[in-house]
Amino acid sequence: MSHVTEGQLREIIALKAYRDPVFRRQLLINPKAMVESIIGTSLGNVRINIVEDTETDITMVIPPVAFDELPLH
């Protein structure tokens, strides 16, 4: 796959998981392998977390705090 942004990759994966129940199950079982299969390359030491929202559970992701912005005491 040609270079895509993280946002585009999220959209691709979400749509594929919505349309393909087999892919969705495999994505929940082994997310890193499934993402690597889409992008066509190894992610090395990067971890991938996939969480399925339900009617009573909603997942929100916040951006990381830059290291130099951490309050040090």
- Span 18-65, pLDDT tens digits: 999 999 999 999 999 999 999 999 999 999 999 998 999 999 988 887
Residue 66 has pLDDT above 90, yes or no: no
Query: pTM of whole model > 0.85?
Result: no
User: Which parts of the chain fold into alpha helices (H)?
Assistant: 6-19, 21-29, 31-39
Q: Does residue 71 have a pLDDT over 80?
A: no
Residue 17 lies in a domain: yes
Q: Which domain holds residue 55?
A: 6-69
Task: Residue count of the chain, please give it.
Answer: 73
5: its two tokens = 């942004």
pLDDT for 1 equals 60
Question: Domains in the chain: how many in total?
Answer: 1
Whether residue 39 is contained in a domain is answered as: yes
Residue 1 counted as domain residue: no
Domain contains 40? yes
